[in-house]
Amino acid sequence: MNALKWLDENTEKTVILICYLAMTGIIFVEVIRRFAFGQQAPWSSTIPIYLFLWVTWIGCAYTAKQRSHLRFEEVRARLPYTGQFLAVMLDHLIWIGFSIVVIYFAAEQVQLSYDNFAIVQGTDDVMQWWFYMATPVAFVLIIYRVLQNLVEDVQRYRRREPFHIKADMAGD
């Protein structure tokens, strides 16, 4: 398996795993430090919250990739084949449009945080914008995943194969 294929298949899972491990490690160590030694790092309650931004938005990209995001499957399954195709294309266009709006406003928030040198509470040099980057990065990834699905759906339509109507968290 080449590196690009591995990256395509594992990007979201890897980022989520790293962030969850970091969150869990920080919380575990700091709870022990608090109860056993009466000490706690001042940033130990803020960094895990910021890491959760990465988990949440990258998780959203993962659901787009797996086609397990919110959809109106029952309605779509009852449509004729061309109607299903048009509904799927509408889904893709809505996802892309929504993602562009989110990227625009999230980038504005990142820029504001960057320009104001906003530092994570309890730290001296951990910048908030590093964590706020999760939103625009994840929504760019969502657009990429939606475009992958769009290409696959157009190919299925041309071959007259059934669409992925039912969500599948396990993947294909």
Is residue 165 a part of any domain in this protein? no
Residue 166 lies in a domain: no
In a domain, 172, yes or no: no
Question: Is position 8 within any domain?
Answer: yes
**Domain count within the chain:** 1
The pLDDT of residue 167 is above 70: no
The answer to whether 128 touches 117, Cβ cutoff 8 Å, is: no
Summarised one tens digit per residue, pLDDT across range 48-67 is: 999 999 999 999 999 999 88
User: Looking at the domain assignment, is residue 142 inside a domain?
Assistant: yes
132-155 residue pLDDT tens:
999 999 999 999 999 999 999 999
Tokens describing residue 61: 């990209």
pTM (predicted TM-score):
0.88
* Cα 121 to Cα 136: distance, rounded to the nearest angstrom: 22
Interval 90-137: pLDDT, tens: 989 999 999 999 999 999 999 999 999 999 999 999 999 999 999 999
- Encode 101-111: b = buried (16+ Cβ within 10 Å), e = exposed: ebbeebeeebe
Residue 169: pLDDT band with limits 50, 70, 90: very low
Domain span at 48? 3-159
* Four-residue CA torsion sign, 62, 83, 151, 135: negative
Residue 171 lies in a domain: no
Residue 71's pLDDT band (cuts 50, 70, 90): low
Q: Which of 68, 60, 86 is nearest to 139 (CA)?
A: 60
Is 97 part of a structural domain of the chain?
yes
Residue 164 lies in a domain: no
Q: How many angstroms separate the CA atoms of 141 and 144, rounded?
A: 5
**In the predicted structure, residue 172 carries a pLDDT above the cut 70:** no
